[in-house]
Chains A and B, each alone.
Chain A
Amino acid sequence: MTTSPNPAFDVKTLRTTVLEMAYAGSTVHIGCAFSIIELLAVLYRNHLRYPGNDPQASDRDYLVLSKGHGVMAQYACMRELGWLPDEAFTRYFSDGSDLKGLSDSRIPGLEVTSGSLGHGFSVGVGIAMGAKLSGTDQRTFALVGDGELNEGPIWEGALFAAHNKLKNFMVIVDENGFQAMGRTDEVLNLGSIQAKFESFGFETATVDGHDERAIDDAIARLNASASSAPKALVARTIKGKGVPFMEGDNIWHYTRLNPETYEKALAAVAGGVQ
């Protein structure tokens, strides 16, 4: 299997793209896009295989964005791959445009229609089961939010994936510690996510979700494992990462940029203020 061209997926560029489109469309969900930037950058740069750079190649790997609320981060990566025109970003949320605020599987490159949480995990398990039955080496990655783990089907699918030894399936949990109404430990305490997946029979690891090298190493190590268990990578992240005034402030789940906060955010990303 040949791999796709290899854009840089520079995280500053990706965050800038998210800000540009969020400002153009006057949209929300910036915080949940920023927490998965490094995860997506590493996946697209080093792990996902799209033969011929074709987002619909039948022998591609699958990235299922189950937490559809972070879709702007994925759009930003798809722009790097040349799958989306610049106009899609400048016209984001305009009447008659294609890209929505939550992922829509009719856009090549997006595998599921998400936003209603807990769906993509199961679809990903099904895709992985299909690859196993077909005997291909395709991998499926399902990116879920920690808040999304409230949903029951996640755990139904986890049982199935472990029971059927879907070693080609990896769930990556964006553990940013927040869900819509507050901190996850205040809304519905998840306890140790890694221990939960471990107890379901997954091979697990936890990383700093903003350390690209650590993410890369963890994914490579899990993929290389001889174990037949499905994999779970828990990524500790910061909601709003990259813009100090957004970091850890759940209001950026809902807040729109104004000219002042837009400029301030752009400058923060460009300056790499951490």
Chain B
Amino acid sequence: MRDAFSDALVRLATVDPKVLLLTGDHGYALFDKFRKSCPKQYINAGIAEQNMIGMAAGLARAGFRPIVYGLSAFVPVRVLEQIKLDIAHDQLPVILIGDGAGFVYAQLGTSHQSTEDIACARSIPHLSVYSPADRFELTACMDRAYKAHAPVYIRMGKSDRGDVHADNLPGGINGLLELKRGEARDIAFIATGSLVRTALDIACERYPRASVWSAPVIKPIDVSQVVDICRHSSVIAVLEEHSVLGGLGSVIAEIASEFAPTRVLRIGVRDRFSQHCGSYAYLLKEHGLDRPGIEKRLEDYLSAN
């Protein structure tokens, strides 16, 4: 996914000289290709994220197309107010990239782990929220964000979990993407980012009648599509490497409860910080977001309800 990101940056910046890449002193090797291809469109704003977001707004006002890169713990969470007032308020065309979302920086601890960014970002008016699951979704998200000419936050989580699509998405992304067709009145898995691959694996091996959907666009969500999924499913299981408070699970539950009451099981981070140090796989397990943990949660829920 990171190669696809680098390629998309270079492609957009080559086509449009107004595209600028701003980084808060992050992305050491990631931007080698960009810096070589488009050196005049690269700005290292230093370890000064608040100023970087304000400047991105100023650059957008001056006719540029800033793409702002940071770790998702910092962009958008640390700079939420700058995003709200300086960018979103006037619908400025700034693309915000929050890398390392979820538990990517497992061993580094709480400061670099990011499981509240979707909740923060989606409550800001005019700000779209994308969360690609693989390189194909990432490429489509970058194109959609560029064409939107409006504020977009793109959440990049664990990037090496394997493709969920076979190829590029020539039609782009419009709504949720069906990865596995299911049968009526069965489970629908709706997942985003790093856990789409897990949802697909669980469904294929354990719940062959279930449908699986990827949600690369969390806001704006296609409400009628979600309602349709709710009406055709007995239960929805939402998977995300993000807090169960305010993330995709909340989005689906809000729509289901308002328009098509369906049981919605929100599987995500359960309002807690990580306790221990360990690998990415270890932390997923600590939070019950590894495959056995998710399967157990699902089984418990289905047997109790």
Contacts and interface: CB of A to CB of B under 8 A. Distances in A.
Contacts, number: 99
Contacts of B89: 105-106, 113
Given A105-B89, A160-B48, A123 B55 contact: yes
Interface string B42-53: 010110101111
Interface in B44-66: 45-46, 48, 50-64
Given A113-B85, A127-B58, A130-B58, 6 more contacts: A122-B55, A122-B82, A129-B43, A153-B48, A159-B46, A163-B46
A121 interface: yes
B51 A125 contact: yes
Interface string A112-137: 11001011111111111111011000
A274 interface: no
Given A113-B85, A116-B81, A153 B54 contact: yes
A152 interface: yes
Sort A-B residue pairs by CB-CB distance and give the 5 closest, nearest first. Answer: A126-B58, A122-B54, A130-B62, A126-B55, A156-B48
A157 B51 contact: yes
A58 interface: yes
B86 interface: yes
B90 A126 contact: no
Contacts of B46: 156, 159-160, 163
A111 interface: yes
Contacts of B60: 126
Which size bracket describes the interface of B in this complex?
20 to 34
Given A125-B51, A160-B55, A130 B86 contact: no
Chain B interface mostly: helix
A31 B53 CA distance: 31
Contact of A129 (B48, B58, B82, B86): B58
Nearest to A169: B58
Contacts of A123: 54-55, 57-58, 61, 86
A122 B50 contact: yes
B86 A122 contact: yes
Interface in B10-64: 20, 40, 43, 45-46, 48, 50-64
Nearest to B53: A122
Interface in B81-124: 81-82, 85-86, 89-90
A111 B86 CA distance: 10
26 contacts: A105-B90, A113-B85, A113-B86, A116-B81, A122-B51, A122-B52, A123-B54, A123-B57, A125-B51, A125-B58, A126-B54, A126-B57, A126-B58, A127-B61, A129-B62, A130-B59, A130-B62, A133-B40, A133-B64, A140-B58, A156-B52, A157-B55, A159-B46, A160-B45, A160-B48, A160-B51
Contacts of B81: 116, 119
Contact of B90 (A106, A121, A124, A127): A106
A128 B58 contact: yes
Interface string B278-292: 000000000000000
A125 B55 CA distance: 6
